[in-house]
């Protein structure tokens, strides 16, 4: 049973445009949601997180939006750059953010020059 | 500032052999996690330690798998009698749990150990 779902395996955008990566979850006990970026042959790198009590968190070019009623979150990257090309994982955790991460399957983002 | 390191980076073994992986966390981090990632999937939780105590193990962790974190520093993950289904990327992550709690503890991942069982 997939508790965190990323339904788009891939996304392709033009440099300078907005990238929107989506994530849905089923477990209402999740407290925090995180986005990680992964390049080939490297471990995941933390990007940004959001608490379940908030609906938006912004860090530079990255903004995460959370819609609790819809159990949906999205990561916006503006403007997209070729170096953003990677696999993006949505992850969730419960109990005040101090437990294991539950990951989605990832979305491969390609930013074309 | 060194990040999480894992050794070896790659391991090829024959079915039935035992393998051991090592993870060195970020030095001040008290929590250490092991995850496994197979092709096309996200990382899946295996087990985690707070200091030297193993606090949770996933049902994915069969009795052929054992993990240790002696003295609360580095950790080892051993797989006995490897099977072809054990082929995966094994990821280690560490984090600092605040005694106050109340905020997300960011997990920092190592580069992983890629295991291939022939």
- Taking only the tens place, the pLDDT of each residue in B19-30 is 999 999 999 899
Q: Determine the 3-state secondary structure of A37 from DSSP.
A: strand
Please tell me the predicted confidence (pLDDT) of residue B9: 96
B106/A46 touch (CB, cutoff 8 Å), yes or no: yes
Please tell me the predicted confidence (pLDDT) of residue B97: 79
pLDDT in tens, chain B (118 residues): 579 999 999 999 999 999 999 999 999 899 999 999 999 999 999 999 999 999 889 988 889 999 999 988 999 999 999 999 999 999 999 998 776 666 677 899 999 999 999 9
| B35 chain-A contacts, CB cut-off 8 A | 101
Alpha carbon distance A40, A87 (integer Å): 8
Please tell me the predicted confidence (pLDDT) of residue B105: 79
Chain A residue at shortest CA distance from B112: A43
B93/A43 touch (CB, cutoff 8 Å), yes or no: yes
CA A43 centroid distance within chain? 16
Average pLDDT across each block of 10 residues of chain A; the chain has 113 residues. List them in order: 91 98 94 94 93 95 97 97 97 75 97 95
**B38 shares contact with chain A (CB less than 8 Å):** no
Strand partners, B31: B50, B95
């Amino acid at each position: 049973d997939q508790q965190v779902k990323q339904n788009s395996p891939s996304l392709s955008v033009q440099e300078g445009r907005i990238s929107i990566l989506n994530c849905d979850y089923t477990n209402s006990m999740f407290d925090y949601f995180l986005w990680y970026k992964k390049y080939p042959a490297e471990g995941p790198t933390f990007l940004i997180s959001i608490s379940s009590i908030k609906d938006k968190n912004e860090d530079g070019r990255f903004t995460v939006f959370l819609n609790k009623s819809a159990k949906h979150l999205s990561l916006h990257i503006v403007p997209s750059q070729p170096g953003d090309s990677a696999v993006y994982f949505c992850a969730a955790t419960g109990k005040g953010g101090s437990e294991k991460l539950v990951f989605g399957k990832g979305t491969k983002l390609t930013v074309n020059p | 500032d060194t990040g999480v390191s894992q050794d070896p980076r790659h391991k090829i073994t024959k079915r039935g052999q035992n393998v051991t992986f090592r993870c060195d966390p970020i030095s001040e981090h008290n929590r250490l996690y092991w995850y496994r990632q197979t092709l096309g999937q996200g990382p899946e939780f295996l087990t985690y330690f707070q200091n030297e105590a193993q606090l949770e193990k996933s049902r994915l962790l069969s009795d052929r798998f054992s993990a240790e974190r002696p003295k609360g520093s580095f950790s080892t993950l051993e797989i006995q009698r490897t099977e072809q289904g054990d082929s995966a990327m094994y990821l280690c992550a560490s984090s600092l749990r605040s005694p106050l709690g109340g905020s997300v503890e960011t997990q920092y991942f190592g580069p992983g150990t890629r295991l291939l069982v022939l």
